[in-house]
A and B are shown apart, each in its own frame.
Chain A
Amino acid sequence: MPDDQPKGPGGGAWDSTQWHEVQKGETLSKIAQKYYGDPSLYTKIFEANKDSIKDPNLIRIGQKLRIP
């Protein structure tokens, strides 16, 4: 089961945003596979994180991503 953590930047007590902290070797496709079962849905994660990701191929370890 995915392990979303709603403790991202600026989250309040009711913040229901689901977060994922990027681990070594992960790509948006792998993360999409983990949460949605379908790597092609990486675009959903990219769209939700456009404020912090400019290039979907460039994510960094420790980066916190919203998982819609």
Chain B
Amino acid sequence: MLRKTSRMALVILACGLAVGCGKYKRLADTAIKTADTAVASAGDDVAKYAADQWKQITDSVASAKDSYAKGDYKAAIASLQDIGPKIQAAQAAASAKKTELENAWTNLSAGVPQMIDAIKSRVDILSSSKKLPKGMDKAQVESARSGLDAATSAWTSAQEAFKSGNLTGAIAKANGVKDQAVQIMQSLGMTPPPAAAPAAK
């Protein structure tokens, strides 16, 4: 009788555990599916402009799937506990970063062409000059000319990067052109515009 009762208790316990496990498995399964959907619909901008946060999110999902595969459903659920707010925070950060980069591009694309035009005008005049101003020689003008050609080409490349949606790359290139233009202007005795001054670090 006692043996029978013990056996029954064991069966009940096993069933209870199985029911418990089944419940956690279903919860983990739902959590993973929900996270997958949220990640898929978060948008490309999040991965692009909030890369660190995005990595944490995808790592959490990967970790949850790993735990699920090992049968550790509670750990899988725990990995995805706050995935929703994390995705929302990453989306907000990405949106803010994108706006910041777009503003930077607008600023640079308004200013850099003005610098290039001013340099071109001065280089053209100096190239036609019979003599050069005090403290300047022909090599400096030639160097400014080749620097101008390189800057013009790099600016075209920055514009192409922007058109293709590579905002970060476009700004990096545009900042490079700006710095190059500042150097050329200074080498020709010109004063760069105040907005072209290097950003404070």
Chain A residues at the B interface, C-beta cutoff of 8 Å: 1-6, 11-18, 33-38, 40-41, 44, 68
Contacts and interface: CB of A to CB of B under 8 A. Distances in A.
Given A14-B114, A68-B122, A36 B191 contact: no
Contacts of A44: 125
Q: Which 5 A-B residue pairings sit nearest by Cβ, starting from the closest?
A: A14-B111, A13-B195, A16-B118, A37-B131, A38-B129
Interface residues of B, number: 29
A23 to B, nearest CB: 16
Interface of B is mostly: helix
Contacts of B136: 1, 37
B111 A13 contact: yes
B169 interface: no
Contacts of B126: 36-37
A15, A33, A36, A68 interface centre (most CB from chain B within 10 Å): A36
Contacts, number: 77
A16 B115 contact: yes
B172 interface: no
B192 interface: yes
Contacts of B191: 3-6, 18
Given A4-B190, A36-B125, A14 B195 contact: yes
Nearest to B112: A14
B134 to A, nearest CB: 7
Interface of B: 107, 110-111, 114-115, 117-118, 121-122, 125-126, 128-136, 185, 189-196
Interface of A is mostly: loop
Contacts of B190: 2, 4, 16, 18
Given A6-B191, A14-B193, A16-B190, 13 more contacts: A12-B195, A14-B196, A16-B114, A16-B115, A16-B185, A16-B192, A36-B132, A37-B130, A38-B131, A41-B128, A41-B129, A68-B122, A68-B125
B195 A36 contact: no
A47 to B, nearest CB: 11
B195 A68 contact: no
B130 A40 contact: yes
Contact of A68 (B114, B121, B132): B121
A18 B118 contact: yes
Contacts of A14: 107, 110-111, 114-115, 193, 195-196
